[in-house]
Every structure is written in C-alpha cells, then in structure tokens.
Amino acid sequence: MIEDKNQQPTPLSELGEFGLIDHLTKQFDTKQESTVKGIGDDAAVLNFENKNTVVSTDLLIEGVHFDLSYMPLKHLGYKAIIVNLSDIYAMNAKATQVTVSIAVSSRFPLEALEELYEGIALASKIYNVDVVGGDTTSSTSGLIISVTAIGEISQNDEVLRNGAKPNDLLVVTGDLGAAYMGLQVLEREKEVFKVNPNNQPDLDTYTYIIERQLKPEARKDIITLFKDLDMKPSAMIDISDGLSSEILHICKQSGVGCDLYENKIPLDPQVISTCEEFNIDSTTVALNGGEDYELLFTISQHDYPKIKANPNFSVIGFIKEAQAGVHLVTRAETQIPLKAQGWKSFND
C-alpha cells in the first residue's frame, strides 16, 4: 500500500484525531478570492458576491468505488477531487473550493493518509480550488472519502440538464470507454498476480486506458473554451455512469427524444484494440462503461460552426421530439432503444 522508504509506519493513534486533522490539512493555504475563511473553524466562510453558488457531493467507498490493490493512494486522492469537480464543470461553472472528509480503519498508517492527501493537494493545485474543510474520523472497515465541491457562476449562466430542444445537436468531449477498459486490464492483472506474484505485468500497451482509470482529469478546459467561443450549451451533464444513462437523463429532464449514432461515438484506438483482445463490444463499453468524466451537452445548430473544426468535440446525435424516443442508430442503420445500465451495485 505504501512504498518501502525504510521507515516505520506511524499508527494513527499516535496523533489522535485533532493532531491528524492538523497534520493532514496544514499544507492547504487558500488562494481563491472567494475564500474568506478556510479550514480551522466550525465551517468555512465563502463570498461569491453577486454570483450564484454551485454545490455537488460524492461518496467513494473502498471495495465499491476503488480497489487499493491496484489504485495507488495518491491517485485515489487525485481522482476523488476530479470526480467532484467534473460535476461543477457540468453546470458550466468555475470550481472554487472543496471539502474533504475521510474515514479510515486503523490498518492505515499515517504515511498512507499522507499519500492520499498528496493527491488531494495536487488536484487542488492543478485545478486551482481551495480545500476549505472536512472531517477525519475512523471507520470499522476500509477507507471512505466524501468530497463536496463548490463553484461559482454568473447568474443565468448555469447549464442544467433540462434545456435540450428538438433539432439540437448532441455533442461529447474527448473519447469514451477508456476508463472502463483500463479497469478490465487492472482486474485481469490482479488475478494474474494472485496466481503468480513474481510475474511482472507488461502494461505498456495499455498506458492510456489505465491512466484514464487511475488518474482521470475533469474538463475544466472546456468551460473556458465555451467562454472563448462565446457559446452556451442548452443542456449539459458529465459522464460518470455511462453515455447511455447520461443521454437518458438529459432526454427525460428536457422532455425530448434523441438519435445517437453508433458510428460517431469517439473511441481511442487503445480502447478498440483492448476491446478486441477482451472480446467485448466497444459500443457497449462506451455506452455503459462510465467514469469517463467527459462532458455531454446539447447545442443549437446555430452554434455548430463554433465547434465544428475543434478536435475536443464530437457530434454524436440529434435531439428529437419526445415521442420519437431515445435510440441508438447502429452502423447497420437499425434503431435500438437506449437503456440505462447505470450502476448496478445494489445487486448482490
């Protein structure tokens, strides 16, 4: 879990609760103008002047959302922040602050938490958000991370899920399915390792998809780009559960239908080759894999020239009236109703 640095692990009980909080959070100074008071009081105090405040929250549970046998703690800390910032960007907002609460069992030494917080600090620095609060407590089993992300947005600039209109174009950033295939590779290597711990895996051909799983990025750049292009999507959502269920969210909340074109779904060559290797259909992976943290949005056709030549964007579908339904138009030009696979973890 931690690197061998020839040092004795420090049990958490040595610091106590307050010592631990102080130790882990002392590195966080605040840089955002909107942060009036950060860590160290009953609550953080923020000032967004006459802007709107945007708030989103997520829980990450060991054994459900991550597996520490292949997820380095520093990456986990980084990802925990990214996952939440992605929701703020999906509102077309600027992310400004996060609070981070963790619960850990005593099997984690202090050095493990330091690594986790290194990742949290790195993401906060790169995405320019202040860590303004949180809670550190013990758990009976494993590691639990709860992050709340806060952002600001000028009034009426927010983009909700409910604004898609018939004849709008459906657009996605980046490419899809890579994080899911990265997970498949990591799971396979874990099984190999169990059988033969001396086997050194060669993961060179999977670097992109593994990075998408272990160290995803959030599309802060796209929100800046929208401003530069002087455009505002009619509806937007981030892709955490999978393209399929996110399209259904937009369609349900906007009261519209949609045709999604299979041949337009952006896939990285490494995703295609790994899907072939694993004998999985790449469209299914893009539709239901999830954890892409790309942005899915709709725009008026009027805005099409603004995004047309930009390699960040792929037009993948067309918004229709509600009664047309929500369909995947396959390469063979057949229409298949889209279903939300979502995240089936309540099935045991």
**How many residues contact a copy of itself, by CB under 8 A?**
80
Which residue in 69, 73, 145, 148 sits closest to 113, CA to CA? Answer: 73
- The site map against a copy of itself for 222-251 (x = CB under 8 A) is --------------xxx------x------
Stretch that binds a copy of itself, among 117-125, 126-134, 179-187, 298-306 (CB under 8 A): 126-134
Q: Does 207 engage in binding with a copy of itself (CB under 8 A)? A: no
User: Of 120, 150, 267, 338, which lies in the binding site for a copy of itself, with binding defined by CB under 8 A?
Assistant: 150
Cβ burial of 230 (10 Å; 0-12, 13-18, 19+) is exposed
Q: Does 41 engage in binding with a copy of itself (CB under 8 A)? A: yes
User: Of 27, 137, 154, 224, which lies in the binding site for a copy of itself, with binding defined by CB under 8 A?
Assistant: 137
Q: Does 337 engage in binding with a copy of itself (CB under 8 A)? A: no
Q: Does 296 engage in binding with a copy of itself (CB under 8 A)? A: no
Q: Does 55 engage in binding with a copy of itself (CB under 8 A)? A: yes
Closer CB to a copy of itself, residue 36 or residue 192?
36
Q: Does 68 engage in binding with a copy of itself (CB under 8 A)? A: no
Closer CB to a copy of itself, residue 29 or residue 135?
135
In this structure, are residues 100 and 135 in contact, taking their beta carbons and an 8 Å threshold? no
Site for a copy of itself in 248-287 (CB under 8 A): 253
Site for a copy of itself in 7-26 (CB under 8 A): 11-13, 15-18, 20
Q: Does 106 engage in binding with a copy of itself (CB under 8 A)? A: yes
Single-letter amino acid, residue 346: F
**Dist CA 334 CA 212 (whole Å):** 31
One DSSP character per residue, 121-180 reads: HHHHHHTT-EEEEEEEEE-SSS-EEEEEEEEEE-TT----TT---TTPEEEEES-SSHHH
Q: Does 342 engage in binding with a copy of itself (CB under 8 A)? A: yes
**Dist CA 212 CA 215 (whole Å):** 6
Run of H or E including 120: helix 110-126
User: Of 27, 63, 221, 310, which lies in the binding site for a copy of itself, with binding defined by CB under 8 A?
Assistant: 63
Q: Does 132 engage in binding with a copy of itself (CB under 8 A)? A: yes
Q: What value does the CA radius of gyration of the chain take, rounded to a whole number of Å?
A: 21
In this structure, are residues 2 and 111 in contact, taking their beta carbons and an 8 Å threshold? yes
Q: Does 144 engage in binding with a copy of itself (CB under 8 A)? A: yes
3-state secondary structure of 267: coil
Cβ burial of 235 (10 Å; 0-12, 13-18, 19+) is buried
CB of 335 to a copy of itself, least distance (A): 23
User: Of 99, 173, 274, 288, which lies in the binding site for a copy of itself, with binding defined by CB under 8 A?
Assistant: 99
Stretch that binds a copy of itself, among 2-10, 87-95, 188-196, 310-318 (CB under 8 A): 87-95
User: Of 8, 50, 200, 323, which lies in the binding site for a copy of itself, with binding defined by CB under 8 A?
Assistant: 50
Backbone dihedral region for residue 6 (phi beyond 0: left; psi -120 to 50: alpha; all else: beta): left
Backbone dihedral region for residue 158 (phi beyond 0: left; psi -120 to 50: alpha; all else: beta): beta
